[in-house]
């Protein structure tokens, strides 16, 4: 940073020092970047001179940019240049609350790239579904039709959601993410604008589009979205965390643009604070223009009286990542309890085994209760899947399966189905290392493991999976996590399973973990619940009474 004062003085003399707003900007200046005000003015002029609003109360009026659109998004994106004159930013993420004009801004950008990027330019507007992709397209097409200047040179083709600029043989094309990676091989885009990345499921499509843009030195890959469900295995979460790291100065990437408008973290736990207009303004920079305070206040009051709606309010209007409404595990508390585990050899523990099916995830979990010397409980988990399952999940865009294998968290176990002998051996080895008191076992499909372990003298207990039988362990685990008294090594498979847990309740107040979709695996969470149930049963059992082998 020794050269920085000199570079800042140069920027001051040239009149663009006020655009150096962050540590990332300072690093860019040291790398030879500068701010081109003429380029920044060009994009602003395009929006405000050639585009009009096409719907709502502003329909037909010139597209006058709001301060945040002009000063925080467009001018920095297009004004910052590298030493060679190319734009500084080749990739970027914008996260802002709903109803802030994100899709309208994205549509205008698509038209700008189409008209200014030279011969045979390809511009793509991408979203998870055909309907969502159509939102940007319809807005871009409406802009092209309503502008006296654009309507003369752009041809709109609604049948295939394409806009043509025949003078340069260029086009804009809407792409639905549900088509996955089919059809994107060989494309060469100057711009990809991805709408609502939080809904995107195919990493294959995302990566294919991102790397295809790399062939053009002046290309831009930009996602514009509201935040989504706090799923750490998702594409959007990965990009969101990266953007947060850039803004915090923890990640040094001068080529990546990041803008996040969201309420403060305290809103995650305090819904009264969610009703503070100052928090609304932080997440909704278009507040008072595209949405008024009375409307937001009405939504807040409704959610205040209906807790089921509070997460939706936080996510859509405060731009705060949340668990799904029906998810019940307090994951923020769980993640805070990740730690380096102490030496556990010889320590008393209780196990839980969930085999689910022979073709999918299986898990064996150990719970080590607190002791007089260390009141904390600790968790160890083993998770397995057959090779064919890992490959199938990877082919469907669930690349976290392969990543977990590479990192040692998910263990391949058989070619086409679970190898029960390997699991039996793991249980036996754990009994030799630790003081294994009992192992609760889901009886469904577990006979091979159950009988082998019994023959080896291991203390297995059949655990019914009924709501009645699972309630004590489920309630205890939820309390342990909420009170942050159960610690773990950060196993991402176990964390993923816990984050997928919804509640299945009965009229008597019973509760057990449940999954809402077939892809939401909870096997490791169920195994942990059974381990906790066995530990709870041991607490209430007279001393010296031998373990019951059937429950």
User: What one-character-per-residue DSSP string does 30-72 give?
Assistant: HTT-EE-HHHHHHHHHIIIII-B--SGGGTTSB-PPPHIIIII
In this structure, what DSSP letter does residue 374 have? -
Average the pLDDT over 219-242 and give the result: 88
Question: How high is the pLDDT of residue 551?
Answer: 34
Pairing of strands 435-441, 348-354: parallel
| Nearby residues of 66 by Cβ (< 8 Å), 6 or more positions away | 101, 285, 286, 289
The answer to whether the pTM exceeds 0.75 is: no
DSSP for 271-314 reads: TTGGG-HHHHHHH-TTBTTTB-HHHHHHHHHHHHT-GGGHHHHH
Q: Mean of the pLDDT values across residues 124-142?
A: 86
The answer to whether 367 and 513 have CB atoms below 8 angstroms apart is: no
Identify whether the C-beta of residue 453 lies closer than 8 Å to the C-beta of residue 436: no
Pairing of strands 170-176, 162-165: antiparallel
Residue 321 per-residue DSSP state:
-
- For residue 544, is pLDDT > 60? no
- Tell me, what's the pLDDT at 56? 74
> In this predicted model, what pLDDT tens digit does every residue of 165-193 receive, in sequence order?
999 999 999 988 755 555 566 788 999 99
With beta carbons less than 8 A apart as the criterion, state whether 28 and 88 touch. Answer: yes
What does the angle CA 187 – CA 193 – CA 199 come to, to the nearest 5 degrees? 105
Q: What is the mean pLDDT of residues 55-83?
A: 92
Contact of 101 with 324, CB cutoff 8 Å = no
C-alpha span between 6 and 491 (Å, rounded): 48
In DSSP terms, 530 is beta-bridged to none
In this predicted structure, the answer to whether residue 474 has a pLDDT above a threshold of 50 is yes
Strand spans (E) along 373-443: 377-385, 410-412, 435-441
Instruction: Name the more confident of 214 and 58.
Output: 58
Averaged pLDDT for residues 372-398: 85
Q: How far is CA 307 from CA 55, 159, 303, 312, 499, in A?
A: 33, 43, 6, 10, 19
Q: Show the DSSP H helices in 99-202 as ranges.
A: 102-116, 130-146, 150-153
Per-residue pLDDT at 452 exceeds 90: no
**pLDDT tens, position by position, 344-362:** 999 999 999 988 666 678 8
213 pLDDT higher than 70: no
> What DSSP string runs through 456-510?
TT--EEE---SHHHHHHHHHHHHHHHHTT-EEB---HHHHHHHHT-EEEE-TTS-
More confidently predicted of 11 and 550: 11
């Amino acid at each position: 940073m020794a050269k920085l004062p000199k570079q800042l003085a140069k920027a001051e003399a040239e009149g663009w020092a006020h655009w150096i707003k962050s540590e990332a900007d300072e690093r860019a200046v040291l790398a030879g970047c500068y701010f081109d005000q003429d380029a920044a003015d060009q994009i602003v002029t395009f929006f405000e001179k050639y585009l009009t609003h096409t719907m709502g109360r502003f329909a037909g009026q010139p597209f006058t940019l709001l301060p945040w659109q002009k000063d925080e998004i467009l001018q920095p994106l297009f004004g910052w240049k590298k030493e060679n004159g190319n734009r500084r930013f080749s990739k970027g993420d914008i996260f802002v609350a709903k109803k802030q004009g994100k899709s309208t801004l994205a549509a205008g950008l698509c038209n700008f790239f189409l008209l200014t990027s030279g011969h045979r330019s390809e511009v793509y507007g991408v979203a998870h579904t055909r309907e969502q992709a159509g939102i940007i397209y319809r807005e871009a097409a409406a802009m092209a039709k309503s502008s006296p200047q654009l309507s003369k040179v752009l041809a709109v083709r609604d049948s295939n959601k394409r806009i043509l600029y025949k003078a340069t043989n260029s086009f804009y094309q809407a792409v639905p993410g549900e088509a996955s990676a089919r059809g994107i091989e060989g494309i060469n885009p100057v711009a990809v604008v991805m709408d609502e990345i939080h809904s995107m499921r195919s990493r294959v499509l995302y990566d294919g589009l991102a790397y295809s843009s790399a062939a053009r030195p002046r290309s831009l890959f930009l996602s514009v979205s509201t935040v989504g469900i706090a799923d750490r295995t998702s594409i959007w979460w990965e990009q969101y965390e990266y953007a947060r790291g850039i803004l915090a100065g923890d990640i040094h990437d001068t080529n990546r643009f990041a803008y996040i408008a969201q309420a403060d973290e305290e809103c995650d736990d305090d819904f009264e604070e969610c009703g503070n207009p100052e928090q609304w303004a932080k997440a909704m920079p278009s507040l008072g223009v595209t949405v008024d305070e009375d409307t937001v206040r009405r939504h807040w009051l409704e959610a205040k009286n209906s807790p089921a709606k509070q997460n939706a309010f936080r996510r859509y209007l405060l731009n705060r990542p949340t668990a799904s409404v029906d998810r019940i595990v307090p994951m923020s508390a769980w993640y805070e309890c990740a730690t380096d585990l102490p030496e556990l050899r010889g320590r008393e523990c209780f196990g839980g085994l969930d085999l689910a099916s022979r073709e999918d995830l299986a898990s064996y979990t150990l719970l080590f209760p607190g002791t007089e010397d260390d009141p904390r409980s600790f968790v160890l988990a083993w998770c397995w899947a057959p090779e064919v399952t890992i490959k199938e999940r990877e082919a469907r865009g669930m690349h976290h399966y392969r990543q977990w294998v590479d990192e040692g968290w998910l263990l391949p176990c058989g070619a086409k189905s679970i190898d029960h002998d390997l699991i039996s051996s793991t249980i036996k080895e754990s009994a030799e290392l630790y003081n294994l008191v009992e192992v609760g076992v889901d009886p469904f499909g577990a006979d091979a493991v159950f009988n082998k372990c019994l023959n080896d003298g291991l203390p297995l207990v059949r655990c019914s999976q009924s709501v009645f039988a699972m309630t004590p362990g489920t309630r205890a685990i939820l309390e342990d996590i909420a009170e942050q008294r159960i610690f773990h090594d950060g196993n991402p498979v176990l964390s993923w399973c816990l984050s997928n847990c919804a509640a299945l309740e009965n009229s008597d107040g019973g509760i057990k973990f449940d999954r809402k979709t077939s892809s939401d695996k909870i096997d490791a969470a169920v195994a942990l619940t059974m381990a906790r149930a066995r530990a709870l049963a041991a607490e209430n059992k007279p001393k010296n009474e031998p373990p019951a082998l059937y429950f």
